[in-house]
Structure 1
Amino acid sequence: MPTPEYLDHPLRTALAEELHARPFLKLAEAVSLIHYAVYAEHKPSLHETLLQSLCRDTGIAAPAEGATHYSVQSPCGWHLKWERHTEFSTFTFVIPRSDGQALFSDAAIQGIPAHWFAQLAGSRFVAARMELLSGDATQAAHGAHGAVRQWFDGPILVGSNVLGGGQVFCDWRVRADGFMRFLVIDDDFREEQGGRLLQRLYEIETYRMMALLALPVARQMSRELDEIHGALQDLMQRMEARGAAGNDAQLLVSLTHLAVRVESLSGQAGRFSASRAYEKLVLARINELREERIEGMPTIQEFMERRFAPAMETCRSVWAREEVLAARIARAVDLLRTRVNLTQEKDVTRLLGGMERTARNQLHLQHAVEGLSVAAISYYVLSLAAAAFKALHVLSLPIEPELAEGLLIGPVVFAVIAITRRTRNRLIRRSAGEESHGMQPLKQSV
């Protein structure tokens, strides 16, 4: 029987393992966690550089080339979980809590040299401290239940019962040390629920920040759309004004410039599309918390609906406005181009009419010239014949020059007319033949 590798598609193993590529944190005790998200838009190599530097400086093994996720235990006592995403990477440091350890300390990043953090300059996008406490076993948890406000001094304290066995508290504020704080109390979590909860919380914050990247773009775009909308309204009014038809070419150029400006804004489509995707992830992670209200506190879902949802709605409305404005400009360009084409067709029709009149006059003139030519040629032929008849009469031949010349008038005139018409018909047939030969290659090329 053939080996499985022989039967399988080359992508089967990689795609099947994708389900297990980013496992949840497995925690069975109280822990301290520090999470960083790194966003380096113009320096994509920074993510792998930071990981390699961290492994080298702390003595942990480096991941395989091309890895997008990595999990390893450090000699310093903390556990590292690294993930590489499309636009950002995350470094999550977890260490078991010891007795008497202060909440929200730097225990989870001890042993990491300062120069590693210096490499994060300008690219640290998320920084969060999290504490997972066991409600039944630790004195810290008993104290935290009654003194939550000691650790969260923001104007709004957000908290809820989650997963049917614990509580989450946060205020979604960045403190002077650059970190946000999340406190999780494990009252009755089942196995590994604590690790999944912490991961969902820092994913909510990371995806929320990534989704909000579209907000500054939307605000700037909104101002530009206001300018473009005003210019479009002015052009439309000029199009409707009486006597504007003679200005159509200039109006079309102006509309084309507006279309180019709107098209340049469409380059932000990727940012808005990514924002929608991150928003869906945020909402999905919040739903997975299965929150229940703590009296007097808004839940995470309620807080996001009040603060995060309006920002996302702003991004959606601005992008929808850009699409509508682009469609309006396209329709205006089509209408104006149609009007320009109609004007051009009228001009062409008028020009063809003038050419037809000119051709008719030329034909009349040609007929007149032909008549004069027949008279002139006949006169010269008869003059030559008269001279010949006179010469023969001098030679005593029985010819009367005046009588012979008078008898030749009719035949000469008819002969000249016949020759002239035959020559004209020959030229017409030759011209028609040249035109047909000239059209044949054109038909073949078409």
Structure 2
Amino acid sequence: MDHFLRASLARELHARPFLRIGGSVALAHFAIYSDGDLAIHEELLRSLCRLTSLEVPAEGTTHYSARWNDEKQLKWERHTEFSTFTFVAQRHDVDYFSDLPSEHVPAEWFRGFEGKRFVAIRMELVSGDAAGAARQNVRQWIDGPVLVGSNVLGGGQAYCDWTVRPDGFSRFLVIDDGFREEQGGRLLQRLYEIETYRMMALLALPVARELGRSLDELQSALQPLMHSMDMSQGRRNDAELLVRLTHLAVRIESLAGSSGRFSASRAYEKLVLARIQELREERIEGMPTIAEFMERRFAPAMETCKTVWARHEQFAGRVARAVDLLRTRVNLAQEEDTTRLLEGMNQTARSQLRLQHAVEGLSVAAISYYVLSLTSVGFKALHTLHFPLDPELAEGLLIVPVVLLVMLTIRRSKGRHALRKSAMHPGENTTKPARTLG
């Protein structure tokens, strides 16, 4: 009875559950990005499961959770462009950031995503009696140039410095001051999603810089073309300018392949801002909040990407308008040439018609002359036979009838020729040339 998509779409609401965490934990989060090898994501997951004796997921899985024991768990998610591996282990001491929750994973597996690790984060969630001491010694573990922190979710604090340390990880320290059930797992997930989506959004920044340089070059090429277009008076120059402008438009269009990257960047930026808003931050005196830090450091990069892409679209529109204007001018010049050609053809046709009329007149005169000459010979022969007939008088009286008869014969012959032509070409309008010439 149900549509075949109903079950899968309904499960989508529960496809990516939050981490279930209780007490203090250490967390390691990796984001794997490979532009040219999409199969690496599932291959890494299957390899991890085989090496650590976890159940191998079904084909086409997009999210996966498993536990090695009560204290170690794995969460894997497949996104459109990247995948994430999150390892969580219970913490029973206060030696924070000393050991990774993924230490039981063979080094062979980590070599599998060499060159593809895009995000690496270490997090410590401190709860219970150790929370107070950790709060007083944040700088012991988070010692970057800028300490960012805030009260979050109304029951704890989150600290970070957004610095990649020599071991390749950035650090977050989260203090649990009374989180409700599952709030700790949600907070950790939101924090590493902020960093992951931020990095994915910034993928558009080097593209924007390269695109900006290309637009500078194209801009310098367009200015002299526009000046030449304004000063050009010759049709030959217009055709040459149109070719050059069209080539420039092709180069602009070739840069439009970056549109997908910029669209993805805007989507990731919205996710970052949404995750920050979900933290419900409150200021800790003396340090910027995550939202303020992102506003100063992340927002300008995103504005650069937006500005460069808007500039590309505006420039493409300018070139397209220039091509349309020049093509219109070339078309008008071609229409003027065509009009002059048609006028020349009409004049030629009129001359031919006048010549034809003159030839017809001469034909009538010549035929009439020969007919009258023949009749004159006949009349003279009859006069020699003593017929009572004056040859010269008879010839003079026949001039008008003979001329009229010849004219009538020629017109009838032309009429029959026109009828045969229309019968052979029934779709051709034989009167159209006459109207045009007239």
The bucket for the TM-score relative to the shorter chain is: over 0.9
Query: In the alignment, is residue 168 of structure 1 matched against residue 162 of structure 2?
Result: no
Query: In the alignment, is residue 203 of structure 1 matched against residue 193 of structure 2?
Result: yes
Question: Please, which runs of 5 or more residues in structure 2 have no aligned partner?
Answer: 430-438
**CA offset at residue 396 of structure 1?**
5.0
Query: In the alignment, is residue 330 of structure 1 matched against residue 335 of structure 2?
Result: no
Residue aligned with 2:298, SS: helix
Question: Which of 129, 134, 141 is equivalent to 1:137?
Answer: 129
Question: Which of 45, 56, 59 is equivalent to 2:50?
Answer: 56
Query: In the alignment, is residue 308 of structure 1 matched against residue 308 of structure 2?
Result: no
Question: Which of 108, 116, 132 is equivalent to 2:109?
Answer: 116
Question: Which of 413, 417, 434 is equivalent to 2:407?
Answer: 417
Residue aligned with 2:113, SS: coil
Hey, what's the Cα distance between the residues in 2 that align with 1:85 and 1:123? 15
Residue aligned with 2:31, SS: strand
Hey, what's the Cα distance between the residues in 2 that align with 1:329 and 1:53? 52
Structure 1 partner of 2:92: 98
Give the count of matched residue pairs.
429
Question: Which of 224, 243, 247 is equivalent to 2:237?
Answer: 247
Hey, what's the Cα distance between the residues in 1 that align with 2:213 and 2:202? 18
1:226–1:436: structure 2 CA closer, same or farther, 3 Å change rule? farther
Give the conservation status (yes or no) of the 8 Å contact 2:422–2:428. Answer: no
Question: Please, which runs of 5 or more residues in structure 1 have no aligned partner?
Answer: 1-5, 440-446
Structure 2 partner of 1:46: 40
Hey, what's the Cα distance between the residues in 1 that align with 2:421 and 2:221? 55
Question: Which of 9, 20, 29 is equivalent to 1:15?
Answer: 9
Structure 1 partner of 2:436: none
Give the conservation status (yes or no) of the 8 Å contact 2:232–2:238. Answer: no
Residue aligned with 2:223, SS: helix
Give the conservation status (yes or no) of the 8 Å contact 2:148–2:161. Answer: yes
Structure 2 partner of 1:374: 364
Structure 1 partner of 2:309: 319
Give the conservation status (yes or no) of the 8 Å contact 1:60–1:75. Answer: no
TM value normalised by structure 2: 0.92
TM value normalised by structure 1: 0.91
Q: Deviations over 1:171-195 (max 9, x none)?
A: 1111111111111111221221111
**CA offset at residue 248 of structure 1?**
1.6
Hey, what's the Cα distance between the residues in 2 that align with 1:421 and 1:383? 23
Question: Which of 127, 132, 154 is equivalent to 2:120?
Answer: 127
- Once the two structures are overlaid, the 10-residue window that deviates more, 110-119 or 336-345, is 336-345
Hey, what's the Cα distance between the residues in 2 that align with 1:200 and 1:129? 14
Aligned residue type for 1:235: L
Structure 2 partner of 1:442: none
Aligned residue type for 1:120: F
Structure 2 partner of 1:194: 184
Hey, what's the Cα distance between the residues in 1 that align with 2:293 and 2:37? 34
- Once the two structures are overlaid, the 10-residue window that deviates more, 417-426 or 196-205, is 417-426
Q: Deviations over 1:213-243 (max 9, x none)?
A: 1111111111112222232222221121152
Aligned residue type for 1:130: M
Structure 2 partner of 1:279: 269
**CA offset at residue 254 of structure 1?**
1.8
Hey, what's the Cα distance between the residues in 1 that align with 2:359 and 2:132? 122
1:380-395 aligned at under 5 Å gives the runs 380-395=370-385
Superposed CA RMSD in Å reads 2.0
Structure 1 partner of 2:77: 83
Question: How much identity, in percent, do the aligned residues show?
Answer: 66
Residue aligned with 1:126, SS: strand
Aligned residue type for 2:44: L
Aligned residue type for 2:248: L
Hey, what's the Cα distance between the residues in 1 that align with 2:100 and 2:119? 18
Give the conservation status (yes or no) of the 8 Å contact 2:25–2:89. Answer: yes
Hey, what's the Cα distance between the residues in 1 that align with 2:203 and 2:108? 28
**CA offset at residue 99 of structure 1?**
2.5
